[in-house]
Structure 1
Amino acid sequence: MITEYQQRLRELYLAAPVVPAPEPWRAVHTGEIAVGGLLGIGFAVHPETGHDLVMVVSSTGHGLLSAVTGERIARDRDPLTDPEDSPDLVCPGLGPVAGVPVRIAGLHGGGLHTGAGGGWTVEVVRPDWPHDRVILFGPGGRIDQGPPGGMCWHILHSRHSTLRAAGFSPSGRTLVVATSSGITLWTRPATV
């Protein structure tokens, strides 16, 4: 049995429309970057630029993307890099982070940061399970403090794919949502 408060929260989540993430966040790519058979994702840091990199692990290998542009930097088609094969949920780095193990979150466990500097948080809710909704909260924001778009934004509704992971990079400059079919990325300037 759910409480009256829980029922009210459920109704708020169900009524919240999907909206773009607010400033200072910007979408890296229009829509989802397709990655068929996605198993998990992780973050690394480019050793020369200091920018966030996204490691994407799929059933056909793993690849490294720029979190700033979404472009593919490196790819290894070896399917033996499945994070399930590693008890620490890591994959070997590629390209500029070759030799650096990258922690992976997704189908086989693990997790990403749910908070970032400046008071930003992200939460996955399931008011109509099995469909996941990803909610971005601004500093001090809560869904019950007013209409969506005030201090919270429903940024992704996973209707047709299974959610694998959602969260921030360790730097807090990148937000990613990974589903079984691809990733959606947002970035913000380092000074925010």
Structure 2
Amino acid sequence: MGGFGLIEATTGVKVARDREPDPEASTPDGPDLACPGIGVLAGTRVRIAGLFGGGLHATTEDGWTIDVVAPEWPHHRVMLSADGGRNDGEPGTTWWHVFNDERHGELRAAGFSPSGRTLVIATSSDVALIVRRIEGSGLRP
């Protein structure tokens, strides 16, 4: 399935879909690999991440990180860490193995939204959003 989709990053709701974008207008260009927005972002340039390059944030301002690793090439895994990427300690305390493309399809992109509140993992068939709540005493994925 080709085209563009626009997803609200905190709810997962599909906001807009363009199944047949104009190839001339929708080719990512410039150093930021941006494309014209669709739906509520029409008239705005939108940075992309996926098959054509681009990327998402690998860290947040408050020390959360992701690492994409391939211990069993060509299969990728995404590791989420709350300790700045040290991955010290037992799994599930300060770090989590959150994705394995061997079970979920080929990894296309992984990273944080600019606010750092949403972790996006996109595969050849799905988009997973992990949204964290920021509450009084601590952070939870």
Q: What TM-score, normalized to structure 2?
A: 0.83
Superposed, 1:11-50 pairs within 5 Å as 37=1
Give 4+ residue runs of structure 1 displaced > 4 Å after superposition.
Answer: 81-84
> What is the identity percentage for the equivalent residue pairs of Structure 1 and Structure 2?
53
Residue identity matched to 2:122: A
CA RMSD after TM alignment: 2.2
SS state of the match for residue 148, structure 1?
Answer: coil
Task: State the shift of 1:84 in Å.
Answer: 8.0
CA apart distance, 1:139: 2.7
Instruction: Give the conservation status (yes or no) of the 8 Å contact 1:84–1:108.
Output: no
Query: Contact 2:26 / 2:36 at 8 angstroms: preserved in 1?
Result: no
Matches within 5 A, 1:81-160: 85-88=27-30, 89-143=33-87, 145-159=88-102, 160=104
> In the alignment, which residue of structure 1 is the partner of 2:19?
77
Q: Give the aligned length.
A: 133
Point out the more displaced range, 94-103 or 83-92.
83-92
Residue identity matched to 2:68: V
How many angstroms apart in 1 are the aligned matches of 2:23 and 2:16? 14
1:190 Cα deviation from its structure 2 partner = 5.8
Structure 1 residue 146, shift from structure 2 partner? 2.1
Q: Is the 8 A contact 2:68 2:77 kept in 1?
A: yes
- Aligned pair 1:162/2:112, yes or no? no
Structure 1 gap ranges (5+): 1-36, 38-58
The residue identity in structure 2 corresponding to 1:147 is E
Q: How far 1:114 sits from its partner (Å)?
A: 0.3
Quote the offset at 1:156 in angstroms: 0.7
The alpha-carbon deviation at position 119 of structure 1 amounts to 0.6
Post-superposition offset of 1:79: 4.0
AA matched with 2:81? F
Task: Please give the alpha-carbon distance, in whole angstroms, between the structure 2 residues aligned to 1:141 and 1:91.
Answer: 31
Contact 1:115–1:168 (8 Å) recurs in 2: yes
What secondary structure is seen at the aligned counterpart in 2 of 1:96?
A: helix
Taking the aligned partners of 2:112 and 2:79, their CA distance within structure 1 comes to 13
- Unaligned segments of structure 2, at least 5 residues: none
| In 1: Cα distance, 2:25 partner to 2:94 partner | 35
**Structure 2 residue identity aligned to 1:76:** D
Equivalent-residue separation in structure 1 for 2:28 and 2:129 (angstroms): 26
- Give the TM-score taking structure 1 as reference length: 0.62
* Distance in 1 between residues matched to 2:77 and 2:50, nearest whole Å: 16
In the alignment, the residues of structure 2 paired with residue 70 and residue 178 of structure 1 have an alpha-carbon distance, to the nearest angstrom, of 12
